[in-house]
Amino acid sequence: MNRPESRRRAPMLDVAVVGGGMVGAAAALALARAGFATALLEARPPAIWREQDEVDLRVVGLAASSVALLAELEVWASIRDRRAAPYRRMHVWEAAAGASIDFDAATEGRAWLGWIAENNLVQWTLWQALEAAGVERLCPAQVSGYQVLEDRVVLELDTEDAGGLSARLLVAADGAGSPLRRLAGLDTHGHDYGQRGVVAHVATDRPHQHTAWQRFLPGGPLALLPLSDGRSSIVWSLPEAEAQRVLSLDDAAFCDELGVASDFRLGRVLATSRRAAFPLKLQLADAYQAERLVLLGDAAHAVHPLAGQGVNLGLRDVAELRDTLVAAREAGRDIAAPHVLRRYARRRRSADTLDAWSFDALGRIYAWQAPPLVAARALGVRLADRLAPLKRRLAAHAAGR
């Protein structure tokens, strides 16, 4: 067995973060940079990102708030200069009535609306920055249990180097199926969409124009997102059986169907990468905190990808938690005191819940197919596209401002 990657351990840490995905790694880095003694525990190291490798199938749309946080953490320039692509416009339209709405960075006096980056590029860049920031990385490491004492949490680890790890605060960033959330007795609510998001990278007749394209179809939305190599990354939400059928098509048939589904907005689809799919669900934790524990990212909330906000919500969790803990420390308070954690939980759960159910409602509205409802929806979209103050507010919210 490989021994965990680790530095010499302090008697007690300020924070132990469990989960080394994008949100967990960002949390560990942010807290360490804010002066907290921090450890990150992860069951397996991230895949090494190399420029010569194929572009990761999973990409993330980074909003302005996420870019700002990554810049504060001194990792954004590295991500941007590798294989990140800006999008300057967003065009959203529907199949049933053709109504559309456009967002343009230029009208906001900005250079871009957001950036598309590979999941593993972001995760690997964050992971590489941890050691220099003083984060104790324990990998492989899994938490099998924990005990809450008066001033700390003591972790039980399934590793050879398992003794004596304790922290004032335990942060669960271990994904939608979060074992730590279950250990803490925190329940969730939500529903399965009965859909899968089919992902691939495609080459098209026409360039993507640094635009994020999204078309609402009866079966679910289709997004085409700009990549730095000129291709587009697709996320095609389809009912389970239809997703399986699409995955089974040969490349030529898949490209033909995707061209039709995208209304040939970028012309014919000429080529595709390999394809994959992931299940879609709405899941919200009933509470974001327990005794000396908080939830971050997918452990707290999983949302529909139609608005591309999942990771952005998680990175906003990170910024809120960091700011809350810094304020508590400056006031001389225990950083894991119940009232401190309640402040973080109240602010983030309120914002995340509003966003999650808004995305859910948007998906339901676009699923309407009865002619009167389609007409009403189209009228609303056209009015929204003409109301500049409303469009600015929608754009600002998506950016995290």
Mean pLDDT per 10-residue section of the chain, whose length is 401 residues: 42 93 97 97 91 92 95 97 94 78 85 94 96 94 93 86 81 96 96 92 97 90 95 95 97 98 97 96 94 97 76 95 98 96 94 76 61 56 56 54 55
- Return the pLDDT at 365: 61
Nearest to 102 by CA among 115, 88, 84: 88
Homologous superfamily assigned to 13-52+122-189+281-363: FAD/NAD(P)-binding domain (3.50.50.60)
- Return the pLDDT at 371: 63
Q: Which residue has the tokens 């003409």?
A: 386
- Return the pLDDT at 107: 83
Cβ–Cβ under 8 Å, residues 231 and 191 = no
Q: Around Cβ 170, how many Cβ atoms within 10 Å? A: 28
- Return the pLDDT at 4: 46
- Would you list the domain boundaries of the chain? 13-52+122-189+281-363
- Return the pLDDT at 383: 56
pTM: 0.89
Contacts of 226 (CB under 8 A, 6+ apart): 85, 86, 87, 116, 208, 209, 210, 211, 212, 232, 233
Name the residue type at position 392: R
- Return the pLDDT at 183: 96
Per residue, what are the HEC states of the chain? Answer: CCCCECCCCCCCEEEEEECCCHHHHHHHHHHHHCCCCEEEECCCCCCCCCCCCCCCCCEEEECHHHHHHHHHCCCHHHHHCCCCEEECEEEEEECCCCCEEEEEHHHHCCCCCEEEEEHHHHHHHHHHHHCCCCCEEEECCCEEEEEECCCCEEEEECCCCCCCCEEEEEEECCCCCCHHHHHCCCCEEEEEEEEEEEEEEEEECCCCCCEEEEEEECCEEEEEEECCCCCEEEEEEEEHHHHHHHHHCCHHHHHHHHHHHCCCECECEEEECCCEEEEEEEEEECCCEECCEEECHHHCEECCHHHCCHHHHHHHHHHHHHHHHHHHHHCCCCCCCHHHHHHHHHHHHHHHHHHHHHHHHHHHHHHCCCHHHHHHHHHHHHHHHHCHHHHHHHHHHHHCC
Q: Which residue has the tokens 């304790």?
A: 166
Q: What's the CA gap between 310 and 382, in Å, rounded? A: 27
